[in-house]
Structure 1
């Protein structure tokens, strides 16, 4: 069950080549909901991103329709018209104003939407709306994902039981500032749109903006938070003592989804936390962590379980951040492999390999230059990743 007053559905309407694969999802709130959103920073923005970003600025919505299998990106004026048509068709079926219907898409770039199939699918989609329909919707937004990503969290606020549901898709082109990532957060708490926006920005900074798989940024990233107030007696405000438990529950949902995306990274065999500490400032620490996390040589070494710390040092040096290599220490979990910028005495290769043989481990880089730190979650780069992306359109 999702939050009070929300329903969802997911069906197959023939957008994807695989017969029977769900590819059209709908989320509906029986009452108007406040909404906030974050969108791709890619200069090439898909039509549904442009359409939905404009509507989210109004702070009110009541439905969201999502298709997978086609990004509706780089499709020109026709793409914008198709995104608006999806909203209008959905609004008509639900008897809503079109401006209250948001649109999202994910899939192959550069192909027009098969609008005839979508138009035929919308009545069936609306007919299947149910408080139990969220798993189907989570499946319908997937592309190269191997499994749906969905979580529900409940929190008691002033005698009210508030529910937060989150669903996401993403397995490749995952780079902070979002990346082929769609994430939809729903709650029956009563919260103003401005407060939602502040919550979303703060939560994303430590969750969705701190993950990367291949360093590419999508045209279609979208993170939405909707609140319909159906379980709240009165609105939550940031200065309210009741606000903190809700905030913690929301950030827990966001953190769970971000980790689930990394764990489902295309072709991944490892989940690696890159932690840079001892930096002069957090921005520099973050840039170094991302540079290491994006290095193909570092990531392929992780895949090969090769403790080649020299690749980490080289990646750091190419980050454009000032640091003293002679002060650097590097650890694989708790095993020091570099001390004062050179191979650490007593760091046996067999011990190092045992760490890298694990499915999840941490690489810690200490700059010994200050107290700032930053952590990034990433994956290895495997032969399966190449295979998946070499044949994505087929």
Structure 2
């Protein structure tokens, strides 16, 4: 794509004038970046980068706190250019010293990747890392095969014969800075977010039940046996549906969001409270009181993590930074945080420094990063 063609398309997109075909062309350009294919460095000259950033900033405006209610591609375009440039991403309002403090440290913090630990019933521990992308067999015993396919997903294959040594509870754990996908023995597909774990008995013929810590998205295979997801506060029963569960223990609430199908939720400390969920709604359970309520969900924001983005609508800064800390495997000084709400959308595939820069531009807070700790200073 030539320079002028790209600038013309970007102008049209930021003005909401692009056709479907033109947006597909921009999407292909983004996909090339996301897969780290070769890009012509001579195309991304400093003048071009600054010109595009100027267009993006003109589109964004100069509002406070809710500055980033702008469309997905504007955030991605900025992220692409920040990552490719390796030069100063300068905004007139920023304090130069603060920028250098961030750039000299946080720019070295890379985003998370596909990695996890698999704990088998026999006590064996297997490391799962995206560095080995080739399909191979992890375990093969009588009646059971565990493979990692070419897409990096963990797949269970159960035969007619069963080996009691192989069957039993398995746990897949993602660390801070990790995520992973697993296809369970019944065909249910699970996306596991960072710092999460899923425990399940691989004999799904008798009972389809898993225990979740953290966050996961489920596409449940339709069977006559109910599929049950249990976390510390909720029990979720379904037959076949798509839903997301967020149950981090350091959050104030556990939340289940239904995309399609039908889900029944019971609070574990109040079996008399059962909620039949509607699609595009969320059930939120207070992790202290156990009280649950159902409300309409912001599906785009809730599912952003699975689609490779951060997306927060009018969220507390502390909530945003907890998600960022899990993905980048860093710590946050929560004592210094102001009680400020933000709206933010940006790719999860950029460096930590890029996210902090976006937050600085969005609200009245500057950030310092040192010794794996994010500190916030109110302006």
Q: Larger relative contact order (C-alpha < 8 A, sep ≥ 6)? A: 1
TM-score by length of 2: 0.23
TM-score by length of 1: 0.22
Give 1 or 2: higher strand fraction.
2
